[in-house]
Amino acid sequence: MKFHILTIASLLSGLSSAAATALAARAALTQVTNFGNNPTGLGMFIYVPGAVIWSPGIIVSLHGASGNAQQQFQDTPYATLGEQYGFITIYPESPPGPWDATSAKSILHDGGGDSQSIANMVKYAIATYGADTNKVFNTLAGTYPDIFKAAIIYSAGSRGKIKSMYPGYTGTYPKVQLYLGSKDTVIGSAAFNTTLAAWAPVFGYDTTPDEVLTNNPVQGWTKYVLGDKLQGIWALNVGHPVFTQGGEDMKWFGFAA
């Protein structure tokens, strides 16, 4: 088949002096250099909104292969949405540009790849800002299901068996939503089928959708619902990448109804 607002003053009063210092630079993209073990030398940039709530959520937003943290900050709506919903956004930066997403190190939990550096950024933010560990979201769900509670994969794909990324893990895997363009010549449109097929057995689903929603969430696009934890959105006549659908992301992550 074709798949085709506690106030800021109140917040500061409840945090350590170190966290209060960090929050002083809120509402600006700020680099953090001491977030812990960083095996691949990634940069960590963070946006803490002026309207940050008590025990905020975290979104990790990864730039494209030829991008950087500043571009991702400017080109995605998460900073603006963070002001509305009170969550923190982490923008990792890979000095080479591309991520080692498919390397043996990065697809293994604590394997020493980019994914481990990013996981440690999240741990730093949780400890520093008292973030809600049930509201941590990104695209590293297969390797770190113990950290990320939901994922939205934009113009990328998964390969192989998801559960092999974290041997011995018996917890709950996060729900996953995939966006891919029908004219994506970078990832290849075939990644739509293979990624959904890789995730389906994790949730006990087969590859036959429960629902096929046309013109959803955009006119001409199609949403394939395989269950409440797995969806694929086929973006007709869209290349690489599919642009961030901020309002839809807020629903998937649970910030909005």
Q: What confidence category does residue 52 fall into, taking pLDDT thresholds of 50, 70 and 90?
A: confident
In whole angstroms, give the CA distance from residue 202 to residue 223. Answer: 20
Q: Mean pLDDT, to the nearest integer, of 196-203?
A: 93
Q: What is the CATH number of the domain that holds 220?
A: 3.40.50
Co-location of 127 and 9 in the same domain: yes
And the tokens for 18? 């170190």
- Nearest CA-CA partner of 99 in 79, 114, 82, 110: 114
The pLDDT of residue 167: 82
The answer to whether residue 131 sits within a structural domain is: yes
The answer to whether residue 147 sits within a structural domain is: no
Co-location of 209 and 90 in the same domain: no
- Nearest CA-CA partner of 27 in 76, 82, 108: 82
- Of 92, 109, 138, the last residue of a domain is 138
Co-location of 159 and 67 in the same domain: no
Co-location of 53 and 163 in the same domain: no
Co-location of 134 and 184 in the same domain: no
Question: What proportion of the chain, given as a percentage, has pLDDT over 70?
Answer: 87
Q: What angle do CA 163, 167, 169 make, to 5 degrees?
A: 75
Q: Which range of residues forms the domain containing residue 190?
A: 153-257
Co-location of 20 and 110 in the same domain: yes
Q: What is the CATH number of the domain that holds 74?
A: 3.40.50.1820
- Please tell me the chain's helix, strand, coil percentages from 3-state DSSP, rounded to the nearest 5: 25, 20, 55
The answer to whether residue 144 sits within a structural domain is: no
Q: What are phi and psi of 69, to 5 degrees?
A: -65, -40
Co-location of 59 and 172 in the same domain: no
Cα dist. 92→34, 43, 107, 198, 210 in Å? Answer: 13, 6, 17, 26, 35
The answer to whether residue 103 sits within a structural domain is: yes
The pLDDT of residue 160: 64
Q: What confidence category does residue 98 fall into, taking pLDDT thresholds of 50, 70 and 90?
A: confident
Each residue's pLDDT tens digit, 137-194 = 986 667 899 999 999 999 988 766 787 788 888 898 999 999 999 999 999 999 999 9
- Of 138, 163, 180, the last residue of a domain is 138
Q: What confidence category does residue 66 fall into, taking pLDDT thresholds of 50, 70 and 90?
A: confident
Could you give the number of structural domains in the chain? 2
Co-location of 78 and 199 in the same domain: no
Report whether pLDDT(8) > 50: no
Amino acid at 118: I
